[in-house]
Structure 1
Amino acid sequence: MNRIVAVTGVVPPHRYRQSEVADALATALRLPPDGSRAVLDRVHASAGVDTRHLVLPLADYAGLSGFGQANDAFIAAALDLGEQAVRAALAQSALAPDSIDLVISTSVTGIAAPSLEARLAGRLGLRPDIRRLPVFGLGCAAGAAGLARLDDFLAGRPDGVALLLSTELCSLTLQRSDGSPANLVAGALFGDGAGALLAVGPEHPAHGRSAGPSVVAARSRLYPGTEHQLGWDIVDSGFRIVLGGELPSLVGLHVGEEVEGFLAAHDLKPADIGAWICHPGGPKVLDAIGEALGLPPSALELSRRSLASVGNLSSASVLHILRDTLALRPPPAGSYGLMLALGPGFASELVLLRW
């Protein structure tokens, strides 16, 4: 089985309390100090977020006049954060940049052509013949899906090295003239950050040196008829979030059954999973996952902790939570873990891990 040999998570330097972000958003939306501001405060208070890191100082967001400026800011900052994340993963694994055979880069918060990993190749020292796969559109599910696609590649390259880079600058997508409930929720949940993961095939020398988990199997699933629940509407000012109110109930209806079926195919039950690396879509989504699978509160504690400290980082969140799992609660040898993330489609991505 292919093995994860490094995983890192980085955030930008500008850190704010949830109340500071709420004040800035209320000013940007010109909300009167009546019912509208009260609704915003309730949304921020119930989001499960204490602090977030933003790629720009709060005061600078007012100077972004449109999608073009916001996307220029995305490219510049994403390159810096992405480089930090990859260099940290290379240092952790002791692998050389020119040993990497494939890089998958994921983001759903900005557009770049050439893509981010192409722009980073020279800065990082990647080989000119490296295989590249930039991914857009999987949203929060792309971190788990990216790991699954790394595993697919390494199945045919047992001595190979593959890199996953996730860079999400969610704050740059916020619509400052949109007072809709979906935009208020997004303004309360999402933060900025990046993550990187390196994996090697079973014949690579680093495979035996790493204490990281191996990838056992993965599964992708689309749930027909739910396309309107999650995604982007592309408008003149950029990405306008689509966030359906039925999401938590859909998670309870579909995802619990999907996880149980996936585990059963490997003669496992939820109680056999020692590490849950669940994307923190929000408190209600985490509650729905826990209830559907009958999990104890401790199972999703690291997901809630990540949500509280940095917010929802879209596809980068599962990499941050896997990093925290390895650092704070490394499972004993032989234990299983499950990476679970949800994204537009509406879709789920599952990756079964074993230490």
Structure 2
Amino acid sequence: MTPLAQLPHPGVLRSAPDTTLSDRPRARLVGIGTAVPPTSYSQRELLDIFEIDDPRVRSVFLSSAIERRFLTLPPESPTGGRLLEEQGALLAKHKKQGIEVGARAVEDCLKNVNADLSDIGYLCCVTSTGFLTPGFSALLIRELDIDGHCSRLDVVGMGCNAGLNGLNAVAGWARAHPGQLALMVCVESCSAAYVFDGTMRTSVVNSLFGDGAGAIAVIAEDPEQRPGPEVLKFTSCIIPEAIDAMRYDWDDEQSRFSFFLDPDVPYVVGAHAELVVDRLLSGTGLRRSDIAHWTVHSGGKKVIDSVRINLGLTPHDVRHTTGVLRDYGNLSSGSFLFSYDRLCGEGLARRGEYGVLMTMGPGSTIETALIRW
């Protein structure tokens, strides 16, 4: 008797979405890779390192559903504590660490898809934790000695939702160039965007975000050559009235940028999650109950709970989302790639099953994609 966990999801019994796309093969997700810095810390270790005694701040850290995060902290001071990093040092950290973890994520992804650096025809780099010109696409091409004729795109400053914005562009390029490999790399050095001033505003951010990079390979070709789910559809939802709920501001007192998160963000995102998912499934003949696999951005415990409740999902549906939050914190644009990596590692997705990818971020914005194995 076949174990229940190995049976196909009921959604595979529904017909494929009725689309008006051309006869070109659809873009498919064929490989995934991730990388993190060498140092990680528990929430209690971070509280001790920065000598945080304020019970309100300690409560924020310890009730976050995060156990560890990979971070590159400021250098230790000869007199104890940590040195204060100026904005220039933070940008240098963003660049140095971004190149290092981004390159490792690319190499890990290519290894998993059995491809070489010379196979890359398109490189899209996504980041929101620093500003560079030229961007990571050019820097990684130089670092990895990728062909200089590789087409490229940098998506900068869109925030935690930006991974799906980038994937939309990558999937479009892949469809227009059948058989050619495209890569998207989300590179986030969130520790290069921290402000340590003891306020609750910065403490919420400092308790949440971690560093890391994720890369995903996309190609439009015969699935027998490289297996992976096909990308069927994208939808976006921006909530203009909440445009200031997540933002970077210049802090004159600290002489650096400071990220702001409105306490109502989880409820705003949750209230609109049902709307955007229903729009994603509109015209496909699918219901939410037909979706076998959910990969949701690890935005924080309250964000995940709000999305889960509003969409009627179970804790099992978001197990990879909560697992990534627990083990890495919020990795900004790359979080959903870490969750998708765990989903792929399970090996439970069956041919014909459907999945939804969802990211949320500044705007306020919700991005979604529908995929099918």
**TM-score scaled by structure 2?**
0.88
Once the two structures are superposed, the pairs formed by residues 203-214 of structure 1 within 5 Å of their partners are 207-214=223-230
Q: Deviations over 1:132-154 (max 9, x none)?
A: 11111211111122112111112
Contact 1:64 1:70 in 2 (8 A): no
Q: Distance in 1 between matches of 2:285 and 2:201?
A: 40
Once the two structures are superposed, the pairs formed by residues 212-231 of structure 1 within 5 Å of their partners are 212-231=228-247
> Structure 2 vs 1, CA of residues 51 and 321 (structure 1 numbering), >3 Å: closer, same or farther?
same
Aligned position for 2:338: 320
Tell me, which stretches of 5 or more residues in structure 2 are unaligned?
A: 1-25
* Identity between Structure 1 and Structure 2 (%): 30
Which is richer in helix? Answer: 1
Q: Distance in 2 between matches of 1:308 and 1:338?
A: 21
Q: Distance in 2 between matches of 1:64 and 1:116?
A: 26
Q: Distance in 2 between matches of 1:103 and 1:76?
A: 19
Q: Distance in 1 between matches of 2:269 and 2:139?
A: 37
Aligned position for 1:39: 56
Aligned position for 1:287: 305
Which secondary structure does the structure 2 equivalent of 1:257 belong to?
helix
State the one-letter code of the partner of 2:72: V
Moved over 3 A (4+): 56-61
Contact 2:190 2:209 in 1 (8 A): yes
Which secondary structure does the structure 2 equivalent of 1:47 belong to?
coil
Contact 1:24 1:58 in 2 (8 A): no
Aligned position for 2:186: 166
**Greater Cα shift, 112-121 or 313-322:** 112-121
> Structure 2 vs 1, CA of residues 57 and 174 (structure 1 numbering), >3 Å: closer, same or farther?
closer
RMSD, aligned α-carbons: 1.7
Q: Deviations over 1:232-284 (max 9, x none)?
A: 11335332112111111112221222112211332212211111110011111
State the one-letter code of the partner of 2:33: T
Q: 1:184 is matched with which residue: 192, 203, 219?
A: 203
Q: Distance in 2 between matches of 1:59 and 1:341?
A: 35
Contact 2:34 2:215 in 1 (8 A): yes
Aligned position for 1:309: 327
> Structure 2 vs 1, CA of residues 80 and 64 (structure 1 numbering), >3 Å: closer, same or farther?
farther
Q: Deviations over 1:164-188 (max 9, x none)?
A: 01111111211012x3323111111
Aligned position for 2:23: none
Q: Distance in 2 between matches of 1:326 and 1:352?
A: 16
Q: 2:66 is matched with which residue: 32, 49, 66?
A: 49
Q: Distance in 2 between matches of 1:294 and 1:201?
A: 33
Aligned position for 1:247: 265
Aligned position for 1:235: 251
Tell me, which stretches of 5 or more residues in structure 1 are unaligned?
A: none
1:143 aligns with 2:168: no
Which secondary structure does the structure 1 equivalent of 2:224 belong to?
helix
> Structure 2 vs 1, CA of residues 50 and 329 (structure 1 numbering), >3 Å: closer, same or farther?
farther
Which secondary structure does the structure 1 equivalent of 2:231 belong to?
strand
Q: Deviations over 1:66-87 (max 9, x none)?
A: 0001111111111111110001
State the one-letter code of the partner of 2:49: A
Aligned position for 2:142: 122
Aligned position for 1:19: 44
> Structure 2 vs 1, CA of residues 187 and 220 (structure 1 numbering), >3 Å: closer, same or farther?
same
Larger Rg computed on CA atoms: 2
